[in-house]
Amino acid sequence: MKLTKSKLKQIIKEEMRNLERPMPEFSPYETEDMSTDTQMVLLLKEILSQLKVLNYHMTPAKRASTSGLEQAMAQAQVAENKQ
């Protein structure tokens, strides 16, 4: 894509319009609510990681002594759960 003089001016004007927008001011309640939401997201990420660990350890055929068929069945089961 060739950058022309008019295209460059247009890009600069768009950026200047974006800079002119005032930052929204939030009330103390909204700020606290956003903080609570952030904490909830972090908690849910931790729960998800723990569930993944549980799923991994509860899936059969994680040992080296298992047969290839058992391992293939376990991989298929895990793949189905991911979808």
Question: What pLDDT, on a 0 to 100 scale, did the predictor assign at position 82?
Answer: 63
What pLDDT, in 10s, does the model give residues 2-32? 778 888 888 888 888 877 767 778 888 888 8
For residue 2 the two structure tokens come to 């060739």
What does the alpha-carbon distance between residue 40 and residue 78 come to, in Å, rounded to a whole number?
A: 27
Region 47-68: what's the mean pLDDT?
A: 73
Confirm if 60 and 74 have CB atoms less than 8 A apart: yes
pTM: 0.42
Structural domain spans, the chain: 50-83
Task: Output DSSP code: residue 63.
Answer: S
Lowest mean pLDDT among 7-11, 37-41, 78-82: 78-82
Above 60 in pLDDT, residue 64? no
